[in-house]
Amino acid sequence: MVHPIRREDGTAGPGMPPRARDVSSAAVPALDVRDASRTFGRVRALEAVSLTMEEGEFVAVLGPSGCGKSTLLRLVAGLGPCDPGGGIAVFGERVAKPSPHVGVVFQTYNLLPWLTVSANLRLAAEIRGIARPVIEERVRAMLQVLGLADFAACHPHELSGGMRQRVALGQTLIVQPKLLLLDEPFGALDALTRDRLNVELLRLCEANRQTVLLVTHSIDEAVLLADRVLVMSARPGRIVEDLRIELPRPRDPRETRMLPAYAEYITHLGRLMGVI
């Protein structure tokens, strides 16, 4: 039996106390996806996907390989159009192209090998036309936050895989996006490095109340990080479950994984995805 959860309409589920009314509930959603479908030739990748996110919410998307998770992320990022009849809005603005309010971190980091860590961090902010004094201040702060202050003058080939991925994350965070999209950014890393970076991601997002949409194959990662977990079906991808994760924040990974509720969420999602 899964741990009692709160219904998505905001009412208390079995065993849950009533939640105080959120005065921001009438505000424009951070993300509003309505009947988004995507077809490539004869292949239907997504089928009428709808979801909303509030500002400051962390939502993870789980699903089998090829179900359209990354396609959904690319549509939100403005890197491709929905099929006719669907639409996406970010903070009330319809998505038709990449937005300056949206930052994306992909699984493969795209660092320029001839630039140092500092220069790579600075690059996205320079492209956005942010003032140089502001950039320099943000770069200094970001190097400290990422634990890379001692490697500012190093080039990508001198860094470990985990350090390169931290730089890629920093490139996006330095422009201070209102919505952060993460497409399995730590998927290619070993389990220990991935766990350490998840701790850093938790800390950064909780400190800044960052709005995040994460695509992942890891049930553990989804439950540890997210406020809600969306589960997608096999292709064409549809959302078949929207599960609110009622675990306390801030979340210390070691303490969180010891909670009975955490194990119940893992079991429930594992069964839903057919891995248990």
Q: Are 65 and 273 in contact (CB under 8 A)?
A: no
Percent with pLDDT over 90 in the chain: 63
pLDDT of residue 187: 76
The per-residue DSSP string of 95-152 comes to PSS--TTEEEE-SS----TTS-HHHHHHHHHHHTT--HHHHHHHHHHHHHHTT-GGGT
**In the predicted model, is pLDDT for residue 257 greater than 90?**
yes
pLDDT of residue 138: 92
Region 232-257: mean pLDDT is: 92
Going by pLDDT thresholds of 50, 70 and 90, the confidence category of residue 74 is: very high
Strands of 179-183's sheet in order across: 102-105, 179-183, 211-215, 58-62, 228-232, 239-244
| Six token digits for residue 257 | 């994984």
How does pLDDT run across 169-226, given as a tens digit for each residue?
899 889 889 999 999 887 767 777 778 778 888 887 777 788 999 999 999 999 999 9
What's CA 159's distance to the chain center, in Å? 24
pLDDT of residue 26: 56
How long a stretch of residues is the chain? Answer: 276
How does pLDDT run across 76-130, given as a tens digit for each residue?
999 999 999 999 999 999 999 999 899 999 877 789 999 999 999 999 899 989 9
Distance CA 179, CA 177 (A): 5
Neighbours of 221 (CB within 10 A): 20
Q: Which helix (H) or strand (E) holds 75?
A: helix 69-76
The set of residues, in sequence order, having a beta carbon less than 8 Å from that of 149 and lying 6+ positions away, is 143
Distance CA 178, CA 17 (A): 31
Buried residues in 78-93 as b, exposed as e (16+ CB within 10 A): beeebbeebbbbbbee
Percent with pLDDT over 70 in the chain: 90
pLDDT of residue 251: 86
How does pLDDT run across 8-51, given as a tens digit for each residue?
444 433 334 333 334 344 589 999 999 999 999 999 999 999 99
Q: Is the dihedral of CA 71, 75, 79, 83 positive or negative?
A: positive
Q: Is the dihedral of CA 174, 180, 184, 189 positive or negative?
A: positive
Distance CA 276, CA 269 (A): 9
- What is the pTM for the complete model shown? 0.85
Place of tokens 């995805």: 273
Nearest to 176 by CA among 150, 147, 215, 137: 137
pLDDT of residue 35: 96
